[in-house]
Amino acid sequence: MYFNTNDKYITPEEVADELGLSFTTVYNLLRKGQLPGVKVGRKWFILREKIERIC
């Protein structure tokens, strides 16, 4: 299975940088379901449009 990580998706690291949060906080929000994301294998991806709506 191939997951295309084009510009529609960003990594938790990028989310943390854009929102001024710590890396750990973003992962905790993902695990709790408070930040919508998709887990592929061991990696998380977040739709960019979801982050843009938060900001």
pLDDT value at 46 more than 60: yes
Query: Which residues have a Cβ under 8 Å from the Cβ of 23 and sit 6 or more positions away?
Result: 12, 13, 16
Mean pLDDT of the chain: 86
pLDDT value at 32 more than 80: yes
pLDDT band at 6 (very low <50, low <70, confident <90, very high): low
What's the number of CA atoms in the CB half-sphere (13 Å) around residue 1?
Answer: 3
- Look at residue 2 in the predicted model and tell me its pLDDT: 47
Q: Are 49 and 18 in contact (CB under 8 A)?
A: no
